[in-house]
Structure 1
Amino acid sequence: MTAIKPSPISIYLLAGVATSNSIFNECKIKLEKLFQSDGIESAIHVVFPYGDASRSVVRQVLEVKSDLSNRMRAGRIGGQIALRKIKQTLTCDRMLLIGHSGGGAAAYQAAKMLHENGEINDFRIVQVGSPRNPIDPLLQDRVSYFHSVNSLGKLNDPISRIGTWGGWSRDRYAMPRWNSLKYAPGYVEGIPTVGGHADYFRHTKPYTDQEAVCNLDKTIDRVRVWLKGWV
């Protein structure tokens, strides 16, 4: 029997606030090799929903804030910009969005709008070191969240503490209680990286551990494991 060729994937790497233009250079190369080794055709695009490091940081932060809410009146500025960029280049029926920091919030908002408009159905979202924005329960299984942890497994990325996944639920006695994970992504995992919030995609010393494994390899490995079965 002839093996079924995997469907191609459009991949988008979304940057956060005050990000250098080179942040995803090595990540893009590794992803291209990864999908190529699995026999999957991929087209990888880099998106700056809030602009690059040359823009006002204050303005960028305010724009990220608009993407942390699911209220209809929220501006979702980064999400709207990402949506326009994606629609210009999306040519596949499958889409993978990987967003760092505020880019993770913009990635979710853009994908949610595309889905609601009936423009994409088969997609996955990866948030890396992102603020916490509430995820629609219908989309939770399509979203993963990775954050940095220290040697004790404790969260040590302050940006990952911003925002909330919480909401009110009722217990078996119909009493309201606060559920801190009600609107959390379907998969959440800590990564023992070296450095801080800006370093998930670093691939050279000093961003390597005692076994010479760099942050980028750790991040990509976790993403690959989560995507297993979809790609």
Structure 2
Amino acid sequence: MTATKPSRMNIYLLAGVATSNSIFTECKIKLEKLFQSDGIDPAIHVIFPYGDASRNLVRQVLEVRSDLSNRLTAGRIGGQHALAKIKETFSGERMLLIGHSGGGAAAYQAAKMLHEQEKVEDFRIVQVGSPRTPIDPKLQSHVSYFHSIDSLGKLNDPISRIGTWGGWSRDRYTMPRWNRMKYAPGYVEGIPMVGGHADYFRHTEDYADQEAVCNLDKTVDRVRGWLKGWV
């Protein structure tokens, strides 16, 4: 009997501003094991759309701002850089992009441009602790968003408060009203984290809860849950 060949998937991990080169080291290991157990051959790539921690912080922040808008005049600098890097390795397989902080904005912009260029059809985008980037309604079902919450379930990551998903909505019989979720990702979930904005992918005991579950496991498990049915 011939064994079934594992399906191929390109996975791109996109970092935010002022990020160390080791941010995704343990995440890559965990993702490889999980996807392989699901019969998938993952090719995992790390991208720094705005440069790493050695680059000027102010320039990086300004570039993130260019990725938070869907206006045609927006520069989408991080998205453009991520797109160029993705094209170096992507050859039409299924594609998963996971972006932390500003990397989540760059991930969306890069995937949107690939989709508009008809280079990719089967893809998913995960934004983790990212600024709020307006999502095209046609792509909302392709995008998920995870953010840190406190013990009361309230958002406690200040970066997740930046930007907006809002827009005006109306029908034939009512006055326009502001809908704060009009351009939100299709799935939004809070995760109780130990630490702050930079700690979603921490895996040591210092970043584990009372049940010894670390931040990395929480983040990846939530992502895997959302991907169930697609993977």
TM-score bucket of the superposed structures, by smaller chain? over 0.9
* 2:90 paired with 1:90: yes
1:130 aligns to what? 130
- Does the 8 Å CA contact 2:127/2:146 hold for their aligned counterparts? yes
Matched residue of 2:97: which SS?
Answer: strand
2:186 and 2:94 map into 1 onto residues whose CA distance is: 19
- TM-score under structure 2 length normalisation: 0.97
1:39 and 1:53 map into 2 onto residues whose CA distance is: 35
| Deviation string, structure 1 residues 162-193 (Cα, Å, up to 9, x no partner) | 00000000046231000000000000000001
- Does the 8 Å CA contact 1:67/1:76 hold for their aligned counterparts? yes
1:20 aligns to what? 20
1:115 aligns to what? 115
Matched residue of 1:175: which SS?
Answer: coil
Deviation of the 1:6 alpha carbon: 5.5
1:6 and 1:29 map into 2 onto residues whose CA distance is: 18
2:157 and 2:72 map into 1 onto residues whose CA distance is: 29
2:6 and 2:110 map into 1 onto residues whose CA distance is: 25
Deviation of the 1:39 alpha carbon: 1.0
Deviation of the 1:7 alpha carbon: 2.8
Deviation of the 1:3 alpha carbon: 8.5
1:3 and 1:122 map into 2 onto residues whose CA distance is: 25
Matched residue of 2:173: which SS?
Answer: coil
Matched residue of 2:138: which SS?
Answer: coil
Task: Please list every run of 5 or more consecutive structure 2 residues that lacks an aligned counterpart in the other structure.
Answer: none
- Does the 8 Å CA contact 1:191/1:218 hold for their aligned counterparts? yes
Matches within 5 A, 1:2-13: 7-13=7-13
2:83 and 2:124 map into 1 onto residues whose CA distance is: 15
Matches within 5 A, 1:58-77: 58-77=58-77
* 2:35 paired with 1:35: yes
Amino acid at match of 2:76: R
Amino acid at match of 2:91: T
1:171 and 1:117 map into 2 onto residues whose CA distance is: 32
1:188 aligns to what? 188
- Does the 8 Å CA contact 2:67/2:77 hold for their aligned counterparts? yes
Matches within 5 A, 1:116-195: 116-171=116-171, 173-195=173-195
CA RMSD for the aligned pairs?
1.4
1:225 aligns to what? 225
2:49 aligns to what? 49
- TM-score under structure 1 length normalisation: 0.97
Amino acid at match of 1:122: D
- Does the 8 Å CA contact 1:10/1:92 hold for their aligned counterparts? no
- Does the 8 Å CA contact 2:7/2:39 hold for their aligned counterparts? no
Matched residue of 2:177: which SS?
Answer: strand
- Does the 8 Å CA contact 2:20/2:53 hold for their aligned counterparts? yes
- Does the 8 Å CA contact 1:9/1:92 hold for their aligned counterparts? no
Matched residue of 1:119: which SS?
Answer: coil
- Does the 8 Å CA contact 2:129/2:197 hold for their aligned counterparts? yes
1:51 and 1:132 map into 2 onto residues whose CA distance is: 21
- Does the 8 Å CA contact 1:171/1:177 hold for their aligned counterparts? no
2:222 and 2:134 map into 1 onto residues whose CA distance is: 22
Deviation of the 1:148 alpha carbon: 0.2
